[in-house]
A and B are shown apart, each in its own frame.
Chain A
């Protein structure tokens, strides 16, 4: 790489070298992030498949229904509710206001919307 460019500290670059350096730099950034994307996709696939396995296991296992305690997340939602919302770094009161504003803007009843999580963007 260093042989193809005049990358010497403080040296003036001619147009061709400068253009070559610019293209090379952009390619390095692109290729670097594209490779990182592949790595993250692979790690993500592994994690998703691992998460699915434990979820499938209880279905296959013949556990007596009466003996099994009902997990908290399996409890039926309150009438009119549409699932649970996870709140991170946000005051519950603010979260409630945000959900009400979103419902108002969309002009849809709150119980027809599903909020997955609310997080303060810092």
Chain B
């Protein structure tokens, strides 16, 4: 009886925690609890943060219970990625030996979830402000500055090209794009990059305002912009078709993201696929968000996550976000000058894509300077342009470093 009890104690996760690398899992469990706190109490991107935190918690708790009990098996994925190995790129091997999260993670690995989320984002996005003011696209492009600045910074810190590209894309302020790029280029960094991307997206109301105030004058912030022209239904239907054809022909590697984003938008705008649009916006989006959060969180196992690289990624992510904001604001200022003071440069910071958070920040800062200022719809143009811009940036990086 005593022997049985002793065996039970030895096999428990508590005993494993104190042996070997168990302490790393313990730290990750604490980090998961912190992420849960941030998601639930502080409401930092809760829809994904809670899923990521639970995925992290389950992966590390179950890892302490031994290989057969684990929900996520890093070892299986190491074999999956081992070029020339017996189980290289074998999803069958994962299906036969994996746990729940391994099965869910196949959707991330195959790049399916980010694309499905983009269908949902497309179905929820109104490109009207962008169509009525196409110059917004320049602000969306300018706000990708942080992507390439952080890419350069990451190479200086010793990351290789694939890793630097994945870190840089955090500056696109687009979670699914960051996840897809990282999955393709540097899957071992997926956990820290996803957490950094979503954390900074949630922190936009804190990161952007000081930069906006530093780079703009009171006079510039007070500018009231002219009302946007009305966009016809035909234009809204043509937009996703034109963008898909043009952008994908220009940069074929953007096809998964741009194609899905515009497909979702077409469902919304046609007016004859309301049921599909509804599914894309709600049911599909929610299901995929659930799977994506859990499976990305599960990659945050102690042995992978607790490295100096993680700290670098967190710092570079912040730099990427800040410099994307700076890029957007500087081109916004240029447009203010060229338009004779008709464009409020604050809408430039909304080019960082995080929809609609960044546009709301522009609106709030504009209204602080001038209470009768309504910049929201003007800022939505660069904001949705940023989604296209970050997808193009990701497409460029994937075509350069994807092999």
Q: Which residue of B lies closest to A28 (CB)?
A: B396
Contacting pair B144 A34 (CB below 8 A): no
Contacting pair A26 B145 (CB below 8 A): yes
Q: Which residue of A lies closest to B156 (CB)?
A: A15
A51 vs B230: C-alpha distance in the bound complex, in angstroms? 11
Proximity bits, B157-183, A CB within 8 Å = 1, else 0 = 010111110000000000000000000
Q: Which residue of A lies closest to B159 (CB)?
A: A12
In B78-93, the 8 Å CB interface with A consists of none
Contacting pair B376 A121 (CB below 8 A): yes
A12 vs B154: C-alpha distance in the bound complex, in angstroms? 11
Contacting pair A122 B124 (CB below 8 A): yes
Number of interface residues of A (CB under 8 A): 42
Across-interface contacts of A47 in B (CB, < 8 A): 232, 234-235, 238
CB distance from B266 to the nearest CB of A (A): 15
Contacting pair B239 A40 (CB below 8 A): yes
Across-interface contacts of A97 in B (CB, < 8 A): none
| Given A13-B161, A29-B144, A43-B242, A37-B137 contact (CB < 8 Å) | yes
| Given A32-B250, A33-B389, A40-B239, A25-B400 contact (CB < 8 Å) | yes
Interface residue from B235, B371, B401 paired with A7 (Cβ < 8 Å) = B401
Contacting pair B400 A21 (CB below 8 A): yes
In A11-64, the 8 Å CB interface with B consists of 11-13, 15, 18-19, 21-23, 25-26, 28-30, 32-37, 39-41, 43-44, 47-48, 51
Contacting pair A40 B131 (CB below 8 A): yes
In B208-255, the 8 Å CB interface with A consists of 227, 229-230, 232, 234-235, 238-239, 242-243, 246-247, 250-251
Q: Which residue of A lies closest to B403 (CB)?
A: A9
A5 within 8 A of B: yes
A77 within 8 A of B: no
Range for the number of chain B residues in contact with chain A: 35 or more
CB distance from A117 to the nearest CB of B (A): 8
Contacting pair B144 A44 (CB below 8 A): no
Across-interface contacts of B163 in A (CB, < 8 A): 10
Interface residue from A15, A41, A119 paired with B155 (Cβ < 8 Å) = A15
A6 within 8 A of B: yes
29 A-B pairs within 8 Å (CB atoms) are namely A1-B400, A2-B400, A9-B161, A9-B185, A12-B158, A18-B151, A18-B155, A22-B151, A25-B151, A25-B393, A26-B144, A29-B389, A32-B392, A33-B137, A33-B140, A33-B388, A34-B138, A36-B134, A36-B137, A36-B243, A36-B247, A39-B242, A44-B134, A44-B235, A47-B235, A48-B229, A51-B232, A106-B372, A116-B227
| Partner-A contacts on B (CB < 8 A) | 124, 126, 130-132, 134-135, 137-138, 140-142, 144-145, 147-149, 151-152, 155-156, 158, 160-164, 185, 227, 229-230, 232, 234-235, 238-239, 242-243, 246-247, 250-251, 281, 356, 359, 371-372, 376, 380, 385, 388-389, 392-393, 396-397, 400-403
| Partner-B contacts on A (CB < 8 A) | 1-2, 5-13, 15, 18-19, 21-23, 25-26, 28-30, 32-37, 39-41, 43-44, 47-48, 51, 105-106, 116, 119, 121-122
